[in-house]
Amino acid sequence: MIGRLRGILVSKQPPWLLIDVGGVGYELEAPMSTIYDLPPTGKEVTLLTHYAVKEDSVALYGFMHEAERALFRNLQKVSGIGAKISLAVLSGVSTADFARLVQAGDVVALTKIPGIGKKTAERMVVELRDRVDGMGISLPGMTGKAAAPVDPAGEATVALQQLGYKPAEVTRLVQKVAAEGDTAESIIRKALRAALGS
């Protein structure tokens, strides 16, 4: 099992990352919460990982903080939630905010995360309420210090669609929040906040 990687960040195309570790390129999927905290490409990065083997695929997921990885793993223990929805949760809300929503039983706020319907949100509250305390959930503030991409709005649009948002909704969100000089990460962060109504 691969539990951690340290190497050079070669590329980041949300939600995908490529890390060169001693000449071997590892492709990982990562939530936006991790992507916000990544250094610029060409710099060294250390990520905690979750290695998933399925009948027809092998996948590697990367996380900047242990709380993110713990939540990712715990979310998948809830019936009906897989890796895609777990990444959407981590991309749409911080681990601390997620813990607060679950503790408060705020099903309405949870359903604003792409891929989470009312029944899934209710299952999450019931099945995770006791677990969130034991996950050690608390994160420092996010910092997005990425190099500006060629087309930040286009990159943000693709990333949001990969997170499960519908194209029409993505277009509306990006047009609403994008400002001159914003990075893709900044646009994505603002769009996710707007989608959650915070």
Q: How far is CA 121 from the centre of its chain?
A: 17
Give the bridge partners for 44, in sequence order. 8
**Alpha-carbon gap, residue 92 to 105, rounded angstroms:** 17
Q: How confident is the model at residue 12 (pLDDT cuts 50, 70, 90)?
A: very high
Give the bridge partners for 16, in sequence order. 13, 29
Q: Is the pTM of this model over 0.85?
A: no
Among 24-28, 112-116, 121-125, 164-168, the least confident range: 164-168
Domains of the chain: 4-63 (2.40.50.140), 66-134 (1.10.150.20), 152-196 (1.10.8.10)
> Dihedrals φ, ψ of 114, to 5°?
-55, 135
Among 85-89, 142-146, 167-171, the least confident range: 142-146
Structure tokens at 136: 């050690």
Percent of the chain with pLDDT over 90: 37
